[in-house]
Structure 1
């Protein structure tokens, strides 16, 4: 189910302990998943029968930021879990630190 993802919103996984907060949102409706299942709004409860997809079980790490390919979406992991975060079917990657310019 596609939803509008807004900055400041909190989501939790329906199949593992992962919880995230949106730092940078992208326009339009998108599908945010974790472990192969749609993520839930902060207060929603998971439906029975949801299970972790073994192919999407690379895990998330607390305190890490996850981004899509063009970094138009940024999520902060507030609680780690077993599922892999994905947006519209594409897995999100851990944001890499930017190289500072050298001082001569």
Structure 2
């Protein structure tokens, strides 16, 4: 019998097993642990991740360093710390690039 997975915590670092993508959890849902994947394969703890493939292998980056990715509900937010060619998903749904909040106009 396997133990249930612990909930994601802000600050947790994850790495892809298929490309060089690495992310840090900024916001995570309180109820449960979503399956975060990159390039169709589940992401693993960065400390236990295999060596990343060489840069430039596989094409243009899809996940971009310094960008934040969120789910449709806004309960999951990831910060990309290393670019890669795999697309991020949460529970099978694609994560989208978070847009900047517009600043209020000053008159």
When normalised by structure 1's length, the TM-score is 0.81
Q: How far is the alpha carbon of 1:25 from its aligned partner?
A: 1.3
**Structure 1 residue aligned with 2:42, among 34, 38, 41?**
38
List alignment gaps of at least 5 residues for structure 1: 47-56
SS in 1 for 2:69: strand
Q: How far is the alpha carbon of 1:3 from its aligned partner?
A: 5.5
Aligned residue pairs: how many? 94
Q: How far is the alpha carbon of 1:45 from its aligned partner?
A: 3.6
1:11 pairs with 2:14: yes
Q: Distance in 2 between matches of 1:83 and 1:92?
A: 12
Q: How far is the alpha carbon of 1:35 from its aligned partner?
A: 0.2
Q: Distance in 2 between matches of 1:58 and 1:36?
A: 15
1:99 pairs with 2:71: no
* The structure with more radius of gyration: 2
List alignment gaps of at least 5 residues for structure 2: 51-59
Give the ranges of 4+ consecutive aligned residues of structure 1 lying more than 2 Å apart after TM superposition: none
CA RMSD of aligned residues (A): 2.0
The answer to whether the Cα contact below 8 Å between 2:61 and 2:83 also exists between their aligned partners in 1 is no
Q: Could you tell which deviates more after superposition, 2-11 or 80-89?
A: 2-11
When normalised by structure 2's length, the TM-score is 0.79
SS in 1 for 2:101: coil
As a proportion of its length, which structure holds more strand?
Answer: 1
